[in-house]
Structure 1
Amino acid sequence: MAHVAEWKKEEVNELKGIIDSAEVVGIVNLLNIPARQLQEMRKTLSGKATIRLSKINLMKLALEDCVNEKANITELSDYMEGQPALVCTDMNPFRLYKILEDSKTSAPAKAGAIAPEDIVVPAGDTGFPPGPFLGDLQQIGVPAKIDKGKIVVQKDTTVVEAGEPVPKAVAAALTRMDIKPMEVGMDLKAVYEDGSIFKADVLAIDEEETFADIQNAFTRAFNLSVFSAFPTSETISTIISTAHTKAYNVAIEAAIPTGKTSDMLIALANAKMLALAGELASDAIDDEIANKLANVAVAAAPVVEEAEEEVEEEEEEEEDKSEETAALGLGALFG
């Protein structure tokens, strides 16, 4: 039987102790993370989570030793890839995922690295003067030309599709243009909590969308409770208030006097009385005006008749004059 080095036994025991002491255990991939950035991430997680990097086989042994206390935890071994490490914490898995995602930073693309998403060179002025770089861009499939003394990309161009490795020439061109399409940070692969394994795609939720969905669900449940008169601690006051309003309105419409409705009923009756009085007064005024106009018309009738007679007399005199003038003209012509 092969002898197991003492340090390995101690390492497994130490890992087991860290795992046992945490409510949540995750697997992260630290591949290609610069040492400086890794130190910054450790500071960010200080007091919140413990990151422990060790040999893969030793971490797997530690997980196996914890299976009695944490059922199904050995399934985390399936997510160890790249340069795996354990992250142990008591915080919510979704909170852990968000912290790790927020700690990621943009980085230049390296030759051979896998593009996490489509890498696009945007249209516009590159800031470079005419020179060999124009040929470099055209070589990687980017339509570029010289315009006003600068190299200009004519349209947005995808140079690497998601999931594809970055060619060396593309990596060099992107670096020169200060395009940083990669993200560097701890890549959380899976998390264990209370017998369940949560993969990264489950933990990646849109906080604003989720919050809006919860608000919408609460509003619908609240309205359903109120409309169906199903009392809860959140809706009882609204249900009572709604019932009171409906009862009050029924009493007002039916003119049922109570201690709450009497003042309103009297006010409504008074308002209707004033409106009716106003209508009657308006009708009386209209009748009076009509009578006055009729009296004026009767008084003015003789004057109108006299004026019409004068107009007729004047018209007759004009006609007589016209006939006399015509007769004199004919006499002079044939006389």
Structure 2
Amino acid sequence: MRSWVRAQINYLMKNMERELFGPLVREHRIPEKKVRIVEETAELLRKYRMFAVLDLEGVPNKQFTMMRRILEDKGIVVKVVKNRLFERALRKAGVPNAEEVIKLLVNENAFVFANMNAFELKLLLDKIELPMKAPIGQKVDKEIVVPPGRTELKPGPIMSLFGRFRIPIQVREGVIWIAKEAVVARPGDVVTPELASLLDKLGIQPFYFKPKIKFAYDSGLVIPAEKLVVDVEGVRSDLGQAVFTALSVAAELALPVPEALELALHKAFIRAARLAAEAGFVTPENAELVLSEALRRAYALAARLTEAVPELKEVVGGVQAPQQPSEERKEEKEEKEEEEEKKEVKEEELAEGLAALFG
């Protein structure tokens, strides 16, 4: 059989096979490594009550490793997983509202798993600041200063770089010394390759890495980053006001708790002393209050009399209104102290309050 005839027959048979059975589909096997990653991530999703997604774009490896160690020391797991594998883990773990999470998975991310509420985690992440090298193209937000002193740089072509940034130098002991402090960048300037190189050689890290959270997932709820910003002073003030109000109500009701009873007894004593003063009943404890009340009434009466008899103004003019009794002053002082106490709510108490509010 001629070769061209054989080729024609093969072509016709392939066309017939395609029409009868359709295109052949190869079986796609997922690599074992990816299967293991999905399994591990799904297990983390089941184990921890919440997770947060951090932006990894432009994050140096050194600073990321340092951040991971800080968080892991607090029992928080940080894992870098590709978005596609994380999607599979979400579905495998049966996470509620998973589709809403998947929509937000873009670019390179790190996933933080924790058994705390999202607001606690955000407060914790906000406290992390790690020094880092000057990235080329980054805008400067504050002055970058080169301090005076010895460097370990040998004299050579690098001396022209110092001159470019107007850094006064001297050569002593075979190395370059910076003679005087110099400002090499001001707010709004952009870090050039030359500046980045010089700062790196001098070991100066003028920038700080702060973890950037994209969103958090807590108990089925997706919380954007902007909603996680906590007004610490505002919440502290609200909590303090709530504590003060609750204590005042408890004191009025004389609830049998030490904090309320102490205040209730003090208020009862003040009211009893005032009532005794009104009735003119004198005891060693309320003598000052009774006399003060009597003087106050006498002064009020004298003021009324001067309206009818103007000549009395010369006599009454030198009379001063009595000062508040010491018990009243003490009460006002204690009320002020209570006002101060309600402002002194610590961040730890704030986090506990948020934990109670959000489960």
The answer to whether TM tops 0.5 is yes
Larger Rg: 1
Say whether 1:24 aligns with 2:57: no
Write the distance in 1 (CA, Å) between the matches of 2:91 and 2:112: 16
Q: Secondary structure at the residue paired with 1:158? A: coil
Unpaired runs of at least 5, structure 2 = 1-24, 171-177, 295-359
Amino acid at match of 1:238: L
**What is the distance in 2 between the residues matched to 1:77 and 1:266?**
74
Equivalent position amino acid for 2:160 in 1: P
Partner residue in 2 for 1:181: 206
Offset from partner CA, 1:222-258 (integer Å, 9 cap, x none): 586489x57666646524531331122221342237x
Partners of 2:195 and 2:245 in 1: how far apart?
A: 54
How far off its partner does 1:193 sit?
0.6
Change in 2 beyond 3 A, CA 1:98/1:252: closer
- Give the CA deviation at 1:97: 3.4
Change in Cα spacing, 1:43 to 1:146, as seen in structure 2 (3 Å) is closer
Question: What 5-or-longer segments of structure 1 have no aligned partner?
Answer: 139-143, 273-335
**Distance in 2 between the 1:185 and 1:43 partners?**
13
Distance 1:36 1:158 in 2: 23
Does the residue aligned with 1:189 lie in a helix, a strand or coil?
Answer: strand
**1:54 corresponds to:** 81
CA positional deviation for 1:64: 3.8
- Counterparts of 2:95 and 2:199, CA distance in 1: 49
Determine the structure 2 residue equivalent to 1:315: none
Contact persistence 1:79–1:190 (CA under 8 A): no
Contact 1:48–1:89 (8 Å) recurs in 2: yes
Closer/same/farther in 2, CA of residues 75 and 121 from structure 1, 3 Å limit? same
Indicate the RMSD between aligned Cα atoms, in angstroms: 4.6
Query: Could you say which residue in structure 1 is the equivalent of 2:144?
Result: 121
Q: 1:223 to 1:17 in 2, by over 3 A?
A: closer
The residue aligned with 1:318 is none
Instruction: Kindly provide the amino acid, as one letter, of the partner of residue 161 in structure 2.
Output: F
Deviation, 1:57, is: 0.9
Q: What is the 5 A alignment of 1:271-290?
A: none
**Equivalent in 216, 226, 236 of residue 191 of structure 1:** 216
CA separation of 1:145 and 1:243: change in aligned 2, threshold 3 A: same
- Number of aligned residue pairs: give it: 252
Q: In the alignment, which of 172, 179, 183 is matched to residue 197 of structure 2?
A: 172
Contact 2:100 2:222 in 1 (8 A): no
Q: Does 1:158 align with 2:187?
A: yes
Contact 2:144 2:183 in 1 (8 A): no
C-alpha separation in 2, matches of 1:255 and 1:42 = 72
- The residue aligned with 2:241 is 217
The amino acid that maps onto 1:217 is Q
TM-score, normalized by length of structure 2? Answer: 0.53
Counterpart residue identity of residue 47, structure 2: S
In structure 2, what residue type is equivalent to 1:167?
A: T
Tell me by how many angstroms 1:59 deviates.
0.8
Q: Does 1:244 align with 2:269?
A: yes
Query: Structure 2 counterpart of 1:5, which letter?
Result: I
1:211–1:46 Cα change, 3 Å: same
CA contact (8 A) 2:71 2:77 kept: no
Equivalences for 1:127-142 in 2 at 5 Å?
A: 131-137=159-165
Is structure 2 residue 40 aligned with structure 1 residue 11? no
Alignment of structure 1 residues 42-81 onto 2, 5 Å:
42=69, 44-46=71-73, 48-66=75-93, 68-71=94-97, 74-75=100-101, 78-81=104-107
Q: What SS does the corresponding residue of 1:160 show, helix, strand or coil?
A: coil
Contact 1:255 1:265 in 2 (8 A): no
CA contact (8 A) 2:248 2:260 kept: no
Q: Is the 8 A contact 1:100 1:186 kept in 2?
A: yes
Residue 44 of structure 1, CA deviation = 4.7
Q: How far apart are the structure 2 equivalents of 1:193 and 1:132?
A: 55
C-alpha separation in 1, matches of 2:125 and 2:159 = 42
Structure 2 partner of 1:96: 121
1:254 to 254, 274, 279: 279
Letter in 2 for 1:97: K
Q: Given that residues 226 and 238 in structure 1 are in contact (C-alpha distance below 8 angstroms), is that contact kept between their aligned partners in structure 2?
A: no
Q: For residues 160 and 275 of structure 2, what CA distance do their matches in structure 1 show?
A: 86
User: C-alpha distance in 2, partners of 1:137/1:155?
Assistant: 6
Preserved contact between residue 125 and residue 152 of structure 1 (Cα < 8 Å): yes
Give me the whole-angstrom Cα distance separating, in 2, the residues matched to 1:146 and 1:135: 8
